[in-house]
Chain A
Amino acid sequence: MVNKMRESLIMKIHYGTALGAVALVAVHILMRLTQNFAESLEYANVIANYQFLPYAGMLEIILILLSIHGFNGLRVILLELKQGKTYEKAVSYGCVAAMIGLIAYGSRTIIMVNMGMI
């Protein structure tokens, strides 16, 4: 599936995720500045952030956007360093697997805290 995707579509996704992440990460960082920085990192405040559904939703979207953007960037760098059919397939599928893995791991945290399962 990965190899059949046109590179222009992959790059449009790369640019789109970049622009989306810029906006949302700015919000995420500004949240730490609405209160005193150290206070904003206290356990109770962080839990409150996660349990506020729109914020949790935003974190989930950031996770997906940055995972896609980051691992696609890594894929591009690795493809430029070495070439070959097997290597390129391994890099492409490896990056997709890492992407999915990281999204799954991060989503687990967001969902469990949001649902109060700690």
Chain B
Amino acid sequence: MTQVPSIAEEQASTPLSSAKSTTLRIARFNPEHDDERKFMEFTVPYEKWTTVLEAILEVKKHFDHSVAVRYSCRQATCGSCGMMINGKPRLACFTKISELDSDVVTVEPMNNFPIIRDLAVKFERLFDTHHKIKPYLIRDDSEITSNEKEFLQTPEEVEQYIQFSNCIKCGLCNSACPTMATDSSFVGPQALAQAYRYVADSRDKGKDTRLKIIDDSHGIWRCHFAGSCSQVCPKGVDPAMGIQFLRGYLLGFRS
């Protein structure tokens, strides 16, 4: 009978050629039976290329499989693994331990999102605010019913909105936003950037509808251009740019 190696004897997945290790502090909180957040520390080996997500999965594999974390693509495409890493919202799969320049890596659930457990958070509010701004092309005809084969756009027209369409709904911007920190009714930088994505799309005819939605006491006017959303966006969406351009429509700078 083959002896199953114990956790203590089993080797780490990461080759220990450089033998560097870091302390990974993971926030643990189960709202069903915990009153407050606790931190558990694990010593994890890492290489130059090891990401925070890999370190967390190493902990799950060898130390505590009950750590709740959401992840999927591991390549900054799906937006699942957003979390606070050393106090700043980042994607765990896109953040290398070596670039954090710290002996201790603290991971916590994203701010401004209700916690499911440990590092996994609820995204309902982000989905609701995103849905509120009507994230689809609004026009009377469609490519099926119109006489044209398709709605053509020049490369210049595409350039106006393409960066905002890169949004992966990771929620890091909403987590970083100072208004989201206190205002439960604020639409959020993600939704506002997506509102601009559609307003800037030459195929869309719903500009006035969307402007009316965001012209609210908890809409676009509660953005104060702190720019933290753009600082943390992992895909270069630059929500702050989109929001200021969108504001230009309401102020009369753009038509």
Contacts and interface: CB of A to CB of B under 8 A. Distances in A.
A114 to B, nearest CB: 37
B222 interface: yes
B199 to A, nearest CB: 15
A7 B187 CA distance: 14
A80 B183 CA distance: 5
Nearest to A80: B183
B218 A8 contact: no
Interface of B: 179, 182-186, 215-219, 221-222, 250-251
Contacts of B221: 7-8, 10-11, 76
Nearest to B249: A8
List the 5 closest A-B pairs by CB distance, nearest first: A80-B183, A8-B250, A83-B185, A8-B215, A7-B221
A6 B222 CA distance: 14
B222 A80 contact: yes
Nearest to B212: A6
Interface in A73-117: 76, 79-83, 88
27 contacts: A6-B215, A7-B216, A7-B217, A7-B219, A7-B221, A8-B215, A8-B221, A8-B250, A8-B251, A10-B221, A11-B251, A12-B251, A15-B251, A76-B222, A79-B183, A79-B217, A79-B218, A80-B179, A80-B183, A80-B186, A80-B222, A81-B182, A81-B183, A83-B183, A83-B184, A83-B218, A88-B217
Nearest to A82: B182
Contacts of B184: 83
A8 B183 CA distance: 19
Contacts of A6: 215
Interface string A3-33: 0001110111001000000000000000000
A6 B251 CA distance: 12
A12 B250 CA distance: 9
B183 to A, nearest CB: 4
A104 B127 CA distance: 47
B250 to A, nearest CB: 5
Contacts of A82: 182
